[in-house]
A and B are shown apart, each in its own frame.
Chain A
Amino acid sequence: MKLSLKPQETFRDDYTFSNSDEAILRFPFPFPEDSYMYSVNMEPHVRGGASPVYNAMFDIDEHYVGDMADRAITLDQDPLRCQVLPHMETAEWDTLELLMENLANDYPEHFSLTKNDDEWHWINRPLDIDQKFTFGREETLPFGPFEYITRQVQGDFSLQDQRDNNLYMDGGMVTSQADWSLNFDVGMSFHEWHGPVPLAHESGVFDRALQYLLRMQCGKPVRRLNWTMTANPRLDTSPENYPLWGPEKAAITPENVGHRMCLRVELQTLYRLPRSNAILFSIRGYLIRLEELAKVKKWAVRMHRVIRDLHPRIAEYKGLPRYRQYVVDYFAPHDDGRVLNAGIGPEQDGI
């Protein structure tokens, strides 16, 4: 897969992050219809499909270098963003293998993996890493295997152990989350960590989703999209750092909403891991400023309708109420009442 990487951008302070036209057009817009409600919106994670971000097993994009630098800063300030419980050691190696194999396979010009029995050689060219190590021997790597590899792959990750007919979040690398905390959730069961989510418990979404995941098979990953909104292209919107990003949210005005406000989409993919039988959950986040989104007509029109009609409890859970009206007003002039096709594609070739 051809992929050109940008030089390092920032996701904090001066926020130099921006999307190229190509990045805008490949953005995984999350609304196939004019309205949104929670559902078990899961499908097999096979290559191809409604969005180009589905073309690789783990999508790497132009923001890779800056994204990884931002993770390193966050980890430096708060090492608890990466935690794995001791019984998940096998799952750590499973994760390392899955990520290395797929990156090398999907992006051979950037990553390479050579194996000679347990002696492995990993090359990550964009981050200038050349590492020889022994698979299964933690002391041959500079970090634990899970931390080592997830410092090199975009998106947050969590590791779920399966036991007693439930899933437990027994590990993770979480530096770009939409206001939830690994340190708080670690060790919790599926329904426990989903505790704060409104409406979905009552409608049985979580019961059904759990049953589905418990039966997930090796080699048959699944995916779903989730979304929220963030003031400024900030990756780290953690509860721990609310004092940093809360005020930025409060500073949104009708004048700056188009530039500062971002739609934040998570491509969530789930993989059954072979040795450990654990489940790896990847939360691959994409950010787009509203002014960038508005360059795609279909998305601008649909965005207006979805945010305008969003269920108040979902809006509240996602932290939207303070600026929801600004967003609606921003997109309203784009909505000429046209009928939109179902589906998430941009339906235009250029910007």
Chain B
Amino acid sequence: MKLKIEAAGQLTSGIRKFTLAPVDGAVLPRAGAGSHVVLEIPGPNRVWKNAYSITSAADALAYEIMVRRVEKSRGGSAWLHEHAKVGDVLEVYPPQNLFAPQRKAKRHLLLSAGIGITPFLSYLKLPGLAYEMHHCCKPEDETAFRTLLPSGPEATLHTSRNTLNLEALLKRQKLDTHLSVCGPESFMDVVLATAAHVGWPAAKVHKESFGGATGGEPFVAHLKRSGVKVNVGREESLLDAMEAAGLTPPCLCRGGACGECKLTVLDGVPAHHDHYLSETERAANNAIMICVSRAKTPELVLDF
């Protein structure tokens, strides 16, 4: 669907927010708490497809998103910061949800850092949600984030790691509390490790990862059934390279989270960067999530 950038503005020096509205009065699909949209971003030589969490409420008349400018971005976030302007029309895929709130939980503990706040902004718009939220940010961004959070005691901002005592926080939660976490990989690792350490049940925690698009050594993907060999460059993903070669592999989130793009590895060793495969599946090395993962060997043979 085509959506128009209706408003754009700087939230912090590194985060820009956008309002995306339907063109000519079309009805916007509802986006439940935790949903994201994938935007087609017109680059100079190619189109980027990036996922952004929707921060507005399910029944809002426009989607709101917030985009962090990724340092050394070769793609979409740089364009959205430097070129996107009010009035631009973008191709947007209908919302999907990989991070819906756990509705059976009596209480929610929401922990985020940096841009990881975005999915929780839609959670906070759920009527009657019983929650406690802690958000970590850089001191210079405190004022901006303050405007996004309710003023009551349920939401706390932390500008230094020392003021968030994770272990004590987790230990004092009531049973029936569900933990949701979103933020940089390092932040989520610490939260999950602490949760495991204090004996928090694995079923009562879920996270959303924005994908670690890191790039890497070029390699060749040999797509056996299609009979095609595709060169995957340093700065593109295997999925992007396959699409550029005219193939249409399955995909959804393009960020290693949804599981849709899994392909079978027939030969070669994948370098896993996804958040979907289990430890056992990873170790077996016979499956790869093509949207984020790469190769440790010069060539990968895939069943596609």
Contacts of A239 in B (CB 8 A): none
CB of A338 closer than 8 Å to a CB of B: no
Quick one: closest A residue to B34, CB to CB? A277
Contact between chains at B97 and A87 (CB < 8 Å): no
A215/B102 contact (C-beta < 8 A), A164-B203, A275-B32, A276-B32 known: no
Count residues on chain B whose CB falls below 8 Å from chain A CBs: 21
A-B pairs, 7 with minimum CB distance = A277-B100, A274-B30, A87-B103, A275-B32, A275-B58, A277-B97, A164-B203
Interface pair B104/A274, CB less than 8 Å apart: no
**A215-B260, A219-B94 as given contacts; A274 in contact with B103, CB under 8 Å:** no
Instruction: Write the nearest CB–CB distance from A115 to chain B, whole angstroms.
Output: 10
Given A218-B95, A218-B97, A274-B30, A163:B103 Cβ within 8 A: yes
CA distance A90 to B34 in the complex (A): 14
Q: A163-B103, A219-B29 are in contact. Are A274 and B34 (CB under 8 A)?
A: no
- Whole-angstrom distance from the CB of B83 to the nearest CB of chain A? 29
Chain B 93-125, CB-CB to A under 8 Å as 1, else 0, gives 011110010111000000000000000000000
Question: Provided the pairs A274-B95, A276-B103, A277-B100 are in contact, do residues A217 and B252 lie with their beta carbons within 8 angstroms?
Answer: yes
Can you name the residue of chain B whose Cβ is closest to the Cβ of A85?
Answer: B104
A88 close to B (CB within 8 Å):
yes
Say whether A134 faces chain B, with CB atoms less than 8 Å apart.
no
Q: Does A162 contact B (CB under 8 A)?
A: yes
Q: What are 17 A-B contacts defined by CB distance under 8 Å?
A: A87-B103, A88-B103, A162-B100, A163-B102, A164-B203, A215-B252, A215-B260, A217-B252, A218-B95, A218-B97, A219-B29, A219-B94, A273-B32, A274-B30, A274-B31, A276-B100, A277-B32
| Residues of chain B from 76 to 97 with CB closer than 8 A to chain A in the complex | 94-97
Contact between chains at B259 and A274 (CB < 8 Å): no
B260 to chain A: which residues have CB within 8 Å?
Answer: 215
CA distance A143 to B50 in the complex (A): 42
B290 at the binding interface (Cβ < 8 Å) = no
Binary per-residue interface labels of chain A (83-113) against chain B in the complex, 1 for a CB within 8 Å, 0 otherwise:
0000110100010000000000000000000
A276 to B101, CA, bound (A): 9
Could you tell me the distance between the alpha carbons of A203 and B95 in the complex, rounded to whole angstroms? 34
Contacting residue for A163 out of B32, B34, B59, B104, CB 8 A:
B104
Question: With A164-B203, A274-B58, A276-B32 given, is the CB distance from A215 to B259 under 8 Å?
Answer: yes
Q: Is the interface of B mostly helix, strand, loop or mixed?
A: loop
Q: Does B181 contact A (CB under 8 A)?
A: no
Q: Are A161 and B103 in contact (CB under 8 A)?
A: yes
A220 nearest CB neighbor, chain B only: B94
**Residues of chain B at the chain A interface (Cβ within 8 Å):** 29-34, 58-59, 94-97, 100, 102-104, 203, 252, 258-260
Say which size band chain A's interface belongs to: 10 to 19
Chain B residues positioned under 8 Å from A88 (CB to CB): 103
Chain B residue contacts of A274, Cβ below 8 A: 29-32, 58, 95
Nearest CB of A to B34, in Å: 7
Bound together, the chains give a CA A1 to CA B258 distance in angstroms of 37
Q: Closest residue to B178 on the A side, CB-wise? A: A163
Can you name 10 extra interface pairs (CB under 8 A) apart from A274-B32, A275-B59, A277-B32?
Answer: A87-B103, A161-B104, A163-B102, A215-B260, A218-B96, A219-B94, A274-B30, A275-B33, A276-B32, A276-B100
* From B29, B102, B104, B259, contact of A218 by CB (8 A): B29
